[in-house]
Structure 1
């Protein structure tokens, strides 16, 4: 459990709270463009929710007509069916996550929010430590990272439609797996073992055999709804965290193997950070707005789990140096009010003043 230890998960949740509070203090976070795009997202979300409700409404109408022919007062299958459809809608399909992720491919607002928040984090850090010796402060993140292209070294990127199709393919695979597990759990006799077995298989690599076996045992006695929610939260947290980190990985290029090791070494903290947001995003209207706050909070997270990036001309080999989180154990032992104590990279020159050049929202 070295990467998924409880202390790491708790620290990730603490970073969620601190990062959110700091992001909300940024006066430039809620610009007019951001609210306009959020309003568009809310409108789209309402339409999608109405479309999703069509089959549920159709089933309700069918049951209503059936009640004229068959006495349903003592029956329970109708309530179970409606509750199951509603549960699949909220806990399996993950519509809010799908909606906000698709917006990333349509508008650069989320990328801009991340960079603006990173600029704010640097500015706040300098202001907070202005009485200290400049050479003892960490290097800045924003001035160098903003110089990186988001299209790679060859200034090339996938067309929007290809990127959307690629995402929908990954999303469909995960939803299909969750839906398949859920339907398999409805099979008589063997169905009660499906969810616990899926939980054991999923968590054995992340937390170890013994904790996964405990989860398997609990799955045999807990209601199936709790286990489905548990699995959904785990997979949704991982997917959400990868999407929130996209502005960083679109600039700092990692190979697939390097990225896999990068996530594995920080798995506990990343899960704790994204876990709360997976529930907030389910809230109608508020969830769409909070996605932008989650992106801004991720900028604060980056400054705690990575080194400040060098200039693009000096970036060769930098990704490999970031695969291992160097100060992980020291950082996890810090008190909550002392998170800035460990400097990942000492600054050799006087750090920029708070008026760091800003990249404007589009």
Structure 2
């Protein structure tokens, strides 16, 4: 998930780059989350001795449940932006790797191919469809029912309620050049002339233009930061969720397709633990949030910081906006295959025109499976 980068942090008075450069290469984290009391499925001899999970950004609410699975006294490898500790009381370890800037912005799909130690990674469904021909992977769990991706603005005179409202306004939309934009433009929700694809993760232009443009962001991040952390703004923003018109699954937990068969027994035991941890995290996010704050404080994140207020606000939005919810069948983490197939249909012509056509004849069954989902796990 994109967030404030180093130059933004310096420009707006957040933490300077390299704050953690004096930390030891391998630092301990006090306590962990005491997950051992809850996560006890025996994994020794079933899963790798260390289950490696690749995230797509620094620690944040998207991955809170993954950090919740860490048992007592995890260790940080600050040089490699990794934290390792017991995976509950399962008999194996869990290694969580930061993504985004920590890996030179390589995607989890490409990291799957270059590092065979990675068992699971967090990917967006449109990324999986785009890479299905050359780097196929299969999603085994859907943490988000709705994407936290949004378009936000700061001019109080603007009062959009849908993406179509933004499109009709003709206002500049600052975003990164991703396939979903072409889908939204093709559907008539946005107009191509209004879209500026020079977005680079910063908010300096947004502030300089007094919030009169519409900018890409994540509802669990920028609204709180802008109101509470960016002194030059320090007021609320309004937003429209992209997921209302573009229902792509965001940050799914996936495995490289050619590793699925060999790890079937492991995934059968492991995926329900992730399900339970995600439900537990929603019920009581504080232990994992505190752990993520401590871990992030020990990493050289280039100005990216976590706070209790930011994470609590993200948890609230996850619940209140229906971002985290049970699947259509009432099971947490399950996939709606019709929804996935619809997304494949909408993306295929866009990706083909861009020279990154999906695998021929791609279907939902090629990219998602509920095989490992425990149907008894649901949010209350």
TM range, smaller chain: under 0.3
TM-score normalized with structure 1 length: 0.24
Higher RCO structure, 1 or 2 (CA under 8 Å, sep 6+): 1
Structure number, greater radius of gyration: 1
> In proportion to residue count, which structure has more strand?
2
